Amino acid sequence: MGHANIDWADDEDKIKFQVPGDDLRAHCKARADHHKARQEFFKKKSEEFAEEIDNQRNQVNQGAISSGLIFTGTIENNRGNMLSQMRSHEDKKFYFRFCEKYLRKELYELSEDQARRFELIS
């Protein structure tokens, strides 16, 4: 985004970012695409953990390994973490898709917190 300006607000000691709507819309599309890819990555990882849990349970049921040797608790925690990450990226994807759709062709003045929410700054 080469056209964004950064100004200090006169009435507050805070930074204001001025971003053209077209630039912000393009940024939102890129962020939505990024979060979609991350969502898919974490979904795949959670499915891999689910398969591992099933494999370990099948091995116990078949007597191939002792129930004391399985690590389903750890794997279930890892799977839960992957699902949580997947949902977080899904929420962000929907947020950026919504913004991409409804941003207008005007100059937006964003606070530092708003710029952070748009993932313009970290």
Residue 59 has a pLDDT of 75
Q: Is the pLDDT of residue 39 over 70?
A: yes
pLDDT tens digit sequence for 71-82? 556 777 888 899
Angle at 19 between CA 90 and CA 89, to 5 degrees: 10
What is the pairing mode between strands 107-111 and 15-20? antiparallel
Can you read off the two tokens belonging to residue 48? Answer: 């891999």
DSSP state of 2: T
- Kindly report whether the global pTM for this prediction surpasses the value 0.85: no
Residue 1 has a pLDDT of 53
Question: Please, what is the average pLDDT of the chain?
Answer: 86
Can you read off the two tokens belonging to residue 54? Answer: 């099933």
Q: Which amino acid is at 17?
A: F
pLDDT tens digit sequence for 53-101? 888 777 777 776 665 555 556 777 888 899 999 999 999 999 999 999 9
